[in-house]
Amino acid sequence: MDIFDRLKAAADADWRSYVDHDFVRRLGAGTLPEAAFRTYLVQDYLFLIQFARAYALASYKSRTLADIRAAQAGLAAVLAETELHVRLCGRWGLTPAEIEAAPEHQATVAYTRYVLDCGAAGDLLDLHVALAPCVVGYAEIGRALAAKDPAALRANPYAEWIGEYAGDGYQAVAAAARRHLDDLAARSMTERRFAELAALFAKASRLEADFWQMGLDAV
């Protein structure tokens, strides 16, 4: 069991509230209202801008070239992820400038600033634990939704979103993030500190669930 699985087990209820949220179930079934998805997608674009800053902070917090390269790879993955949002939002006539001009919802501010605060006040391990529910969680959600009914997925209006996170490219990003998190934990984590990290992970998972709920509340 790597550190990610240990954190997930310690925060089981909060983790399940995130990965098994009604937004996720309805997205997987193709029954999520388009208005909910549109609100989510615009906010997630704004969310990713702040996550790009978090990876820049990770580079600053790093003391080895290996850690800097990991931060660089994470930043590149976030920037690539925004292309999906631009592509999908473009189908509704939204330009990148219009998306960036949208006001941030409270759920967006709460989660992203929490992650940035974890990085600013803590060390590199704190920051990557705060990032992990999003980075690795989306890979787990995408893989689980894609595996349910491949035939139904083809008719799902959100198939492109699911395919992006279930795809080999994003799965590799998440796997690399898990390995790096495990390496950081091996270097600096004590059993006493694990309880603090588990609380941090649980909070980030709850904020992820709130982010899904923000989309549903827009309907």
- Nearest by Cα to 17 from 210, 217, 214: 210
The residue behind tokens 């990713």 is 48
Given a contact cutoff of 8 angstroms between Cβ atoms, the answer to whether 189 and 3 are in contact is yes
3-state helix/strand/coil string of 108-154? HHHHHHHHHHHHHHCCHHHHHHHHHHHHHHHHHHHHHHHHHCHHHHH
Active site (annotated) includes residue 208: yes
From the candidates 81, 118, 134, 164, give the one annotated as an active-site residue: 134
Tokens of 139: 């890979």
Helical axes 3-10 vs 12-19, angle rounded to 10°: 90
Active site (annotated) includes residue 134: yes
Annotated catalytic residues are 134, 208
